[in-house]
Homo-oligomer: A and B are copies of this chain.
Amino acid sequence: MTDLDNSALNQLLNTLPGEEYQRLRPHLEPIEMPLGEVIYEPGGELRYVYFPITCIVSLLYVMENGSSAEIAVIGNDGMVGVALFMGGGSMPNRAVVQSSGRAYRLRAHQLMREFNQFGAMLHLLLRYTQSLITQMAQTAVCNRHHTVDQQLCRWLLLSLDRLPSNELNMTQELIANMLGVRREGVTEAAGKLQQAGLIQYSRGHITVLDRPGLETRVCECYHVVKAESDRLFPPPPPMPLG
C-alpha cells in the first residue's frame, strides 16, 4: 500500500485541495498506533497532530479518583489535536489509541504553517472541530439520559463507522472505561445484544452480526452525531481517487 493510498483514507486530508495537500504531504509521517498508547496527557505540550488512517483514538477524561469517561471518538474521519490550532497550546484531555492501526503524524509547526495560510486547511479544520463539538455535546446528553444498553450500541456504531470491517478488538473492561461505567454493566448489556443475535463476543473480540439491528436499538444521539457529521462532510462515493 503506497503513501498516497493511505492518505486518501483519511477523509480530512482527502478533502484537502491538491495544492494544499501537496504542501503537507512531505511532512506526513505514517506511523503505527499500538493499542492503548497514550498520545496526549492533559496539560501536555502538543508536538504532533495525528490523522488516523485505520486506527481509532479516544479522547478521555480521567478524574481524580481514577474513573474516566470518553468525550469523543476520532477515526479516519478526523484529526487528533485540534486544541493546537484553537490556541490552547496544550491538550485538555487524554488521548488513547482505542483500536490499533495506522495514522499520519504531522509536526505541530507544520500544521500551523498550513493553518496560518488562512486557506482551505483552516476552514476544513474548523468545520471538523464543529463536528467534534457536536459529538461532545451529544455525549453529555447521552450520559445524562440514556441507559448503558443504548450507550453501548452508540459506542459500537461510532467505532464501527471508523473501521473497515465489522470486527472490533476490545475487552469489556476497556469499553467500560470509555463509557465510564462498570465492567459488569457492559457484560450485561453485551449479553443482551449477543442473545438478540446482534453481536458475537469472545475474549476481547467483537463481531457485529446485525448492524441494522444495532441501529434500531441505539438512542437518537448516534443519529444526531452522524447526521451532523454527514452534513458538514458529505460522504464521498466509495472510492474517490482514481
Contacts and interface: CB of A to CB of B under 8 A. Distances in A.
Interface of A: 59, 61, 63-64, 67, 69, 71, 83, 85-88, 92-93, 118, 123, 126-127, 129-130, 132-134, 136-141, 143-145, 180, 220, 228, 231-232
Nearest to A179: B144
A95 to B, nearest CB: 12
A227 B25 CA distance: 37
Contacts of A139: 140
B143 A87 contact: no
A86 B144 contact: no
B138 A61 contact: yes
Contact of A92 (B86, B123, B137): B137
Contacts of A141: 61, 63, 69, 71, 143, 180
Number of copies: 2
15 contacts: A61-B138, A63-B141, A69-B141, A71-B137, A71-B140, A87-B127, A88-B130, A92-B133, A92-B137, A133-B133, A139-B140, A140-B143, A143-B143, A143-B144, A144-B180
Contact of A137 (B86, B93, B118, B138): B93
Given A69-B145, A93-B137, A145-B69, A126 B85 contact: yes
